[in-house]
Amino acid sequence: MTVDLLIDAIGQIDDKYILGAKDIEISKVTGDPKQNGHDIRYRRRILGRKVYICIAATIVFILASFATAMAVSVEFREAVFSIFHIGTTEVIPSTEVNSNMNSTIEHISDSNIDGEVSVYYFKINGIIQANNGIVYSSQYNETDAAFFNVTAKGLEEITATRVEFAYSFKGTDFNIKYDYTIYNDNLYFRVLPESLDVNPYKYGWSMYKAGNSTDKVWLILPYSVKEDYSSYPLLLNIKTNEITDVFEGVDVENIVIDKWQFTDDMAYALISGYSDDHTKGFWICDILQKTITPVSELTGRTINDCYILEDEMIVCYAANGDNFDVINYDIHTGAETTVVENVQHYGLTDDGSGFSPIEYNGGQGQHALLFDSDGNVTLLDLVTGNQLPLTGLKNDGTLITSESPDGKHIMIAFRDSDYSGSLAMHEIGVLDTQTGVLTMMDRENYEAKTENVVGWLDNDRIAVIAHDDTDECYLYVYYFD
């Protein structure tokens, strides 16, 4: 596996390189150019003036996992935004190419910056991904050790189990092969494809976590629906290899499924896809009652996009003339709550104004940003509707944001627009959503490596993944104290 697979289009930063939270992955994209979130779990949030962020931009965003929204505290409602700028600049260490590395991972150095930020730098032989404090070697390096725990002292290898079996689904045979481990009561796994030449949208398969389960995962298999390819979730017990079709008896056969999400109790599923007339739609499935109902029918509104934010609540972007409203819909009670009305622009317009959900776990999280034409930024809580003006913070078209898994922190970064094909972040920081304090830090030497990925390693740490001209990657782990 060579690093040329890390950048699919030199000269342009692609959405697959900046990821939301929990799971950070660099992988080759083959076949159908449309993004399928079951294969590209997290995408970037670069808010340029010319960028229009489509509501249905990825094929399966958060529907592969559950975004748990934290109720906003009294501190958030009463917070007054302030910016604390660290006086010392982070200088990313330069390293010489070492083709004779004695181990897969080399701990380069540590840095403590003004007692406010701790940074750990690693060089890693091969392509990597990360999730909830754990680093994976790439799915394409199946002979390498699979999992490593990230600590202040370095990366410690974790023992993994390999599983392989054959499975036939709707006339297609699949060779299911993956590594998994259970560490600190969390399940981790990496899929091992048969070939890099396999088109993941047509023939490939994937796996995703089933909530917080340590013995079950979602096995995603493609199948043909009227010459289109749909993503079908099956529940796999990794200890017994038993596979359950949770949609059995539900009329989903004629829906080209591109997104799906289950409530924690597995009683309901939210499906996004295309119906017989190729119209985009959203449906709520009652798994126990075997019924399926359009969300537009339940709300009486035209729905542009929706997703499960809390176990019983769906956030909906409902059309309101040329604008839209953000409403919350309770799956169990049918109650609706309006969060914000008459929002003018989803994404950014030419004058820089608009509305942009902050990504969490590959889809939209608990917070969004509102921009005016002068670049002023307001933080919006999508659960309560509370707004926090981020006075002094400007969106100049280079802003990158990502929400932590628990919704308590938001990463804020600015990229250097002079460097194409790399994030090249000259400034990075963390906003505490409860206190309103934004801590920012300048960076130097960011151009020495191609920075491909930035996102939350867990609730407390940010990870940056970069590469050079060899097969070696670099992992920078940031802890804002």
Query: Who contacts 66 (Cβ-Cβ below 8 Å, separation ≥6)?
Result: 211, 261, 262, 264, 308, 311, 361
pLDDT at 140: 57
Residue 36's closest CA among 247, 276, 253, 199?
A: 199
pLDDT at residue 290 is higher than 60 = yes
pLDDT at 93: 92
pLDDT at residue 296 is higher than 90 = yes
How sure is the predictor about 265, in pLDDT bands with cuts at 50, 70 and 90? confident
pLDDT at residue 426 is higher than 50 = yes
Calculate what percentage of the chain has a pLDDT beyond 90: 41
Residue range 124-147: average pLDDT?
74
Residue 306's closest CA among 61, 70, 71, 69?
A: 61
Residue range 117-137: average pLDDT?
84
Residue range 342-357: average pLDDT?
84
pLDDT at residue 217 is higher than 90 = yes
Token digits of residue 210? 């089933």
Which of 67-71, 182-186, 273-277, 314-318 has the least mean pLDDT?
67-71
Q: How does the average pLDDT of the chain come out, rounded?
A: 77
pLDDT at 377: 93
Pick the residue with more confidence: 108 or 44? 108
Count how many Cα atoms sit within 13 Å of the Cα of residue 383 in the half-sphere of its side chain.
19
* Degrees, nearest 5: CA angle 5-6-11: 105
3-state secondary structure the chain: CCHHHHCCCCCCCCHHHCCCCCEEECCCCCCCCCCCCCCCCCCCCEECCCCCCCCCCCCCCHHHCCCCCCCCCHHHHCCCCEEEECCCCEECCCCCCCCCCCCCEEEEEEEEECCCEEEEEEEEECCEEEECCEEEECCCCCCCCCEEEEECCEEEEECCEEEEEEEEECCEEEEEEEEEEEECCEEEEEECCCCCCCCCCCCCCEEEECCCCCCEEEEEEEEEECCEEEEEEEEEECCCCCEECCCCCCCCCCCEEEEEEECCCCCEEEEEEECCCCCEEEEEEECCCCEEEEHHHHHCCCEEEEEEEECCEEEEEEEECCEEEEEEEECCCCCEEEEEEEECCEEECCCCCEEEEEEECCEEEEEEEEECCCCEEEEEECCCCCEEEEEEEECCCCEEEEECCCCCEEEEEEECCCCCCCCCEEEEEEEECCCCEEEEEEEECHHHCEEEEEEECCCCEEEEEEECCCCEEEEEEEEEC
pLDDT at 68: 29
Pick the residue with more confidence: 229 or 412? 412
Per-residue pLDDT of 305-344, as tens digits, reads: 999 987 789 999 999 998 999 999 999 899 999 999 998 8
Residue range 214-230: average pLDDT?
79
Residue range 449-460: average pLDDT?
92
pLDDT at residue 175 is higher than 80 = yes
Report d(CA 46, CA 4) in Å as an integer. Answer: 22
pLDDT at 31: 27
pLDDT at residue 7 is higher than 90 = no
Query: Who contacts 294 (Cβ-Cβ below 8 Å, separation ≥6)?
Result: 281, 282, 283
Overall pTM surpassing 0.75 (yes/no): yes
How sure is the predictor about 70, in pLDDT bands with cuts at 50, 70 and 90? very low
Per-residue pLDDT of 431-442, as tens digits, reads: 999 899 999 999
Residue range 209-218: average pLDDT?
88
Token digits of residue 236? 């796999």
pLDDT at 442: 98
pLDDT at residue 65 is higher than 60 = no
pLDDT at residue 262 is higher than 50 = yes
pLDDT at 170: 82
Residue 231's closest CA among 243, 239, 219?
A: 219
pLDDT at residue 464 is higher than 70 = yes
pLDDT at 97: 47
pLDDT at residue 284 is higher than 60 = yes
pLDDT at 44: 33
Per-residue pLDDT of 179-210, as tens digits, reads: 999 998 889 988 887 644 444 444 578 888 88
How sure is the predictor about 240, in pLDDT bands with cuts at 50, 70 and 90? very high
Residue range 402-407: average pLDDT?
90
Token digits of residue 420? 């194409």
Report d(CA 298, CA 288) in Å as an integer. Answer: 18
pLDDT at 198: 47
How sure is the predictor about 154, in pLDDT bands with cuts at 50, 70 and 90? confident
Token digits of residue 23? 């799971």
Domains of the chain: 3-480 (2.130.10)
Which of 15-29, 133-147, 274-288, 366-380 has the least mean pLDDT?
15-29
